[in-house]
Chains A and B, each alone.
Chain A
Amino acid sequence: MVKRRRQEILIEMQKMIYLDHNATTPLSQKVIDQIPSILQAWGNPSSIHWSGREPKNLIRNARQVLATALKVSPLEIIFNSGASEGNSAVILGIYEIFKNSKNHFMCSQVEHPSVLKAFQHIEKLGARVDYIPVSRKGELDLNFFKKHISSNTALVSVMMANNETGNIFPIAELVKMTHAVGALFHSDCVQVLGKIPLNLSELNVDYATLSAHKFYSLKGTGALFVRKNSPYQKFIFGGGQERSRRGGTENTLGIASFGVMANLLDQVVFRQKELAQLRDHMEARILLEIDGVSLTGNQSARLPNTSSMVLRDIDGETLLMSLDLKGFAVSTGAACSSGSPEPSPVLLAMGLSRAEAQSSLRISLGWETNLGQIDFFINILKEVVLRLRNISQKTNMKELSLMREQSL
């Protein structure tokens, strides 16, 4: 019976409209099709005998494809469990390596918690960390950056694009200034794959972190880019996997699935245009048809799929629930493990008030989003916003008592 219900839920999910691709993405059909054959390669990739050969090949191939797409060498890719692990590995590792020589670190105020909390952790251990402020438009305060970076700086970490506003930061420029003082640069690139082209060699970062599940593949898999000759200290001890840089038997299924998608990274150039067209159409309609909406952040440099807005007099939590009950998945800010959202720290850091942050909505589109879905979504959004702004406190006693009697 439980199995049947699960089946029903899955069927229902297909009728739903998913507009929360910055949280995670649905699995690509290409990945789903490949999974059964990847599962055949169940052996330990480190085994010398026949069972290890196929998984080893799948992993090598995925590494090659991903490295080519990112314009780096396969040796510079370490597969791991995802960007949170990668971020901890880089930040804690660099602290450890330089703790007796360079003690200063910098990151933006709008980093993902996996970056912010890692920095807060090394602060407790003795590091000095400066958090670069952002403007109301979400632009990084470059003067603050220039003022605080010094020869004592070990590492700078700035995300390539923000998960909530989609704002893109000038990484190449920051890397130049960082390298000029002899410091290292890390970028959390988790929101970038599949949205805009990512060329790590051109960006010239020392470290970059990625998660497969933000790019239509499986959860629990990611990649950490470590530039050749940049210092790195292993984070998970174990066997000789990943050239002894990350212990633990490889997640063959996750890595090979990631490889399947990495093969499609050359589509990003036209996907980017498609997404931007859809997003711009959506924003134009919303601004025209719904009162009291303002877009958040910098509209000139942002991901093509992300739209963040404040809806006056609307409680974001309630809006999300109301849309969910009608089959739409959107977000109010960062998803939280207990499902109980606090006002987004990113929006607060940008200078939005608590009330504005609590009235905010994030819509993030994906490769499978189409115009029909967007138009349908806007129609429902309009209806829900209108209803929420005009909630009647009046009670229709007669109707309620009728419903009460009849249900008992």
Chain B
Amino acid sequence: MTNPMAMTTAKRRPRVLVAMSGGVDSSVAAALLVDQGYEVIGATMQVWDYSSCDIDEGNGTCCSSLDVDDARSVADRLGIPFYVLNCEAKFKSQVIDPFLKSYLEGQTPLPCVNCNTYLKFDHLIQKMRELDCDFLATGHYAQVKMDENGIAAIYTSTDDWKDQTYFLFTLESSIVPHLLFPIGGMKKPEVRRIAEEKGLTVAKKKDSTGICFVGNMGYSKFIESQVDPMILKTKTGLIKRLPSGVVMGRHEGIHHYTYGQSKGIGLTHHEKLFVVKIDAETNTVWVGDEEYLYSQQADIVDPHWLTSWNEDEIYQVKIRYQHKSTPAKIRKTEKGYRIDFLEKQRAITPGQAAVIYKEQKLVGGGWITI
């Protein structure tokens, strides 16, 4: 690896702010940057630690989590300055509150995108500029490369399984040149191997799965812990059969259901039935045969584009994180944009994102609506 200080014409060593979560990926990202000769500054965003924080006692301030300690210990090992940034208020207003609202509106939200939009790639970009850094680095599985026009663009990771570009579609294209994803060109086992070689204490730490603030609690319990029971009571309603409209039973709140769900619906019925629609206006959960889950179209709102596109070309579209992308065309409609898939897709879920790629390059995306 080359030392950028020796070669660059820039006046000083490039300085990078690296977002460290305390996990393996961002720890290795930081270590690689140090090796590459950057001047590295580590930062952890202190968000609400829902898993281990006694709400009464902690009052939402100063409750240091074990992950913050892990990030701190890696920074110490690497000999880089490290800061904890207080993002609790912002995290609550931009991530937690919309998450709860979305569930209560019968959707299945995707809070990680908001965290990226409003915290990692907004708050931290601001800090990057304030601390006189040239780059912001994260441990995302994604790559920044120059596209055919010589413009920095986001490309999928070499690790297809771990690729996280799905969560990055809201990024402003103007900040892309400032981003570094040091592990985006690697596969997970390699990242772990580097962590072990470098003696990072987090090398054996488990991958985080699911949504960080929900923890082991499960969605329903989390929502119940955060929302006034009186409000939850207003979300109870009927379970109806599609297409007949026959009432099959009652349910305890639409936030217990997600599209495509077949277990735990709360019905004793001889056929296997699926949640095919959630109507938040009437609090009706519609169930039916699996075929009703399939659709060839998705409407998206609040779209965000990183690069240009046109209506004639075929793109690759992902409708949920663990979804293999599938070919589709995009067109503008009166209300927003419509995605026409070449083949029918199962459980296109409102609240999730449809993310659009041109081969490996991230084009943009939007929020799936009913």
On A, residues with C-beta under 8 Å from B are: 5, 315, 317-318, 321-322, 324-325, 336-342, 387-388, 391-393, 395, 397, 399-404, 406-408
Contacts and interface: CB of A to CB of B under 8 A. Distances in A.
A324 B10 CA distance: 23
Contacts of B152: 397, 400-401, 404
Contacts of A403: 4, 8, 10, 14, 134-135
Given A5-B79, A395-B178, A407-B14, A402 B134 contact: no
Nearest to A408: B36
A387 B132 contact: yes
A322 B131 contact: yes
Contact of A337 (B9, B64, B135): B64
Contact of A402 (B9, B36, B46): B9
A393 B86 contact: no
A340 to B, nearest CB: 4
Contacts of B38: 407
Contacts of A340: 46, 61-62, 64, 84-86
A393 B175 CA distance: 10
A400 B84 contact: no
B62 A402 contact: no
B135 A400 contact: yes
Contacts of B177: 395, 397, 400-401, 404
A406 B14 CA distance: 10
Contacts of A342: 61-62, 86
| Interface size bracket, B side | 35 or more
B58 to A, nearest CB: 10
B272 interface: no
10 A-B pairs with least C-beta separation: A338-B64, A407-B4, A340-B86, A340-B84, A340-B46, A318-B130, A403-B14, A339-B84, A406-B7, A336-B62
Interface majority SS (helix, strand, loop, mixed), chain A: helix
A5 B77 CA distance: 9
Contacts of B2: 406-408
B131 A318 contact: yes
A325 B9 contact: no
A242 to B, nearest CB: 30
A322 B81 CA distance: 11
A399 B61 CA distance: 40
Contacts of A392: 129
Nearest to A407: B4
Interface of B: 1-2, 4, 7-10, 14, 36-38, 41, 46, 61-64, 68, 79, 81, 83-86, 127, 129-132, 134-135, 144, 146, 152, 174, 177-178, 180
B4 A388 contact: no
A109 to B, nearest CB: 17
B307 to A, nearest CB: 16
B326 to A, nearest CB: 32
Nearest to B185: A408
A5 B264 CA distance: 56
Contacts of B144: 404
B86 A391 contact: no
B167 to A, nearest CB: 22
Nearest to B4: A407
11 contacts: A325-B41, A340-B64, A341-B86, A392-B129, A395-B174, A399-B10, A399-B134, A401-B152, A404-B177, A404-B180, A406-B8
Contacts of A407: 1-2, 4, 8, 14, 36-38
Given A403-B14, A407-B14, A408-B36, A336 B174 contact: no
**Listed residue (A5, A321, A404) with the most chain B CB atoms within 10 angstroms of its CB:** A404
A403 B180 CA distance: 11
B4 A406 contact: yes
A315 B85 CA distance: 12
Contacts of B64: 337-340
Nearest to A320: B83
A317 B90 CA distance: 15
Given A400-B177, A402-B8, A407-B4, A321 B63 contact: no
A317 B134 CA distance: 19
Nearest to A315: B130
A401 B134 CA distance: 11
A318 B83 CA distance: 10
Nearest to A392: B129
B32 to A, nearest CB: 10
A276 B133 CA distance: 37
Chain B CB count within 10 A is highest, among A318, A336, A339, A387, for A339
Contacts of A402: 8-10
- Give the one of B14, B130, B178, B180 with max A CB within 10 A: B130
A81 B41 CA distance: 35
Contacts of B46: 338, 340
Most B CB contacts (10 A, CB to CB) among A317, A400, A403 go to A403
B4 A325 contact: no
Nearest to A399: B10
Nearest to B7: A406
A338 B8 contact: no
B146 A401 contact: yes
A5 B178 CA distance: 31
Nearest to A387: B132
A322 B132 contact: yes
B61 A325 contact: no
Nearest to B2: A406
A318 B86 contact: no
Given A317-B85, A342-B62, A407-B14, 20 more contacts: A317-B86, A322-B131, A325-B81, A337-B62, A340-B61, A340-B85, A342-B61, A392-B129, A393-B129, A400-B135, A401-B152, A402-B8, A402-B9, A403-B8, A403-B134, A406-B4, A407-B1, A407-B2, A407-B4, A408-B36
Contacts of B129: 391-393
A336 B46 CA distance: 13
A347 to B, nearest CB: 15
A334 B129 CA distance: 26
A30 B38 CA distance: 41
B84 A338 contact: yes
Contact of B130 (A324, A391, A397): A391
